[in-house]
Amino acid sequence: MKVGFISLGCSKNLIDTEIAVGMFKEHKYIIENRPEEADIIVINTCGFIDDAKEEAINTILEMAEYKKRKCKYLIVMGCLVQRYYEELLKCLPEVDLFIKLEEYDKLWEKIDDLLKRDIVIKSKGKAKKIPMLDQIDYMNRVVTTGKDYAYLKIGEGCSNRCTYCAIPNIRGPFISRPKEEIIDEAKMLAKKGITEIIVIAQDTTKYGIDIYGEPKLVELLEELAHIKEIKWIRFLYSYPEGITQELIDLVAKNDKIANYFDIPIQHISNRVLKRMNRRTTKQEIEILIENIRKQIPDAVIRTSLIVGFPGETKDEFEELKEFVKKIHFDKLGAFMYSKEEGTPAARLPEQIHGNTKKSRYNQIMKIQQIISKQNLEKRIGKKCQVLIEDISFDGKYYVGRTMQDVPEIDGLVYIKNTSPKNMLHMYVMCEIEDVQGEYDVMAKFI
């Protein structure tokens, strides 16, 4: 039988999908990229914010149409299922099997039961501990991100309890994976030809606290850097209060670790930060950024912001705009606040109107587009290493990324195809020649 997969949401969710792909492959099923040709369709959903939930439902309904043709079974898993299991059972009879996060330790058992006996056993009883990390097999996952990079999940869940976020309710508290298991997985990926490792968790700076009694991200990164085949390492989702001097020192001295800090600050007004239950102040954030840039002048700093949080005043939004202009973030993503049931922020008064949120989002992104182009223009004439991952349709350009660009999120480098040999999947030196739009650059081989 042929199995098709759709993975929605974040890169952490993608790893869960890759584990499921590996299970089907191990049991001799054929992986099919075209849903119209699949006998089984598996959808891994996101249930984080309204847009993600809407995308998930629309995708389920779209894939359900294939059951009128070739598809025999439609399986839905992931965060949306964990969060709305009972409602989905009632509203989506087209789905043959829903799998909650707490059932991932019995993932294949449930799928196998459906396929062999055509019976779906509904979940009953008290919720289990989420996730069952010790029973999830990461070693047989099938990397779906290409030949060059792979995500490496070092923990599950989150214990930060930001008032706007439903992740702790969906995925439980933060649980670290044992360091030995992570290193073994990284070595397995390296043997498969992966040369770039992207370390992820809901908050990577919390790694190790729950099982070792203290943060162990620095130690983990150091051990990953000893894997010979790995050329680039980056860590994402590092909350500002967890970025220590020791971590900054490691990034500064280790050539394998990207000079890239992904710091989701969410806002800069101290009153808003407090209502969000964030653990840093404006002053602490400013000191941290200043310290990083002083010690690592070419460091790339990325952040994410939430606009329209309940009670955000016009003055507080203006404060955020001025901060963005002042700091000149290299990369920035903004989100309109989404009122999520079950979160403390959903019960706060002074909910912001949707039109106001949209206007504030547009203002922030317009400012950042200008800043992004200015930052890129400063790179013209500079040399950089580029990982070539693709070639343009017309064959005129190679397409790649620098060490300062996260795949699927940041900008691209377009290099004139002047080489007589195939340069795909190679690390090459280039010189930036021009800026393409607000996020990409043009370059030449040197």
Render pLDDT for 213-261 as a digit per residue (tens, 0 to 9).
999 999 999 999 999 999 999 999 999 999 999 999 999 999 999 999 9
Same domain, residue pair 329 and 348:
yes
Interatomic CA distance for residues 401 and 405, integer angstroms: 6
Q: Are 284 and 410 in a shared domain?
A: no
Domain CATH for 18: 3.40.50.12160
What pLDDT score does 135 carry? 56
Tell me the CATH number at 239: 3.80.30.20
Please report, for the domain that includes residue 425, its CATH number. Answer: 2.40.50.140
Whether 363 maps to a domain, the answer reads: yes
Closest-CA residue to 132 (of 82, 74, 203):
82
pTM flag (> 0.85) = yes
**143 and 220 assigned to the same domain:** yes
Final residue of a structural domain among 377, 392, 411? 377
What are 130-184's pLDDT values in tens digits?
444 555 778 889 999 999 999 999 999 999 999 999 999 999 999 999 999 999 9
Considering the domain architecture, whether residues 64 and 209 belong to the same structural domain is answered as no
Same domain, 200 and 269: yes
Q: Mean pLDDT across the chain, nearest whole number?
A: 93
- With 90 as the cut, is the pLDDT of residue 30 above it? yes
**Whether 147 and 100 share a structural domain:** no
Look up the domain containing 217 and give its range: 133-377
Q: Is residue 125 part of a domain?
A: no
160 and 309 part of one domain:
yes
Please give the angle made by the CA atoms of 173, 175 and 179, to the nearest 5 degrees: 165
Within a domain: residue 225? yes
Please indicate, yes or no, if residue 122 is contained in any of the structural domains: no
Task: Give residue 420's pLDDT band: very low, low, confident or very high (50, 70, 90).
Answer: confident
Residues 189 and 326 grouped into a single domain: yes
Number of domains in the chain: 3
Task: Please say if the pLDDT value at position 117 is more than 80.
Answer: no
Helices 245-253, 282-295: axis angle to 10 degrees equals 30
Cα separation of 190 and 341, whole Å? Answer: 41
- Is residue 126 assigned to a domain? no
The answer to whether position 123 is within a domain reads: no
Q: What is the pLDDT of residues 43-93, one digit of tens each?
A: 999 998 889 999 999 999 999 999 998 999 999 999 999 999 999 999 999
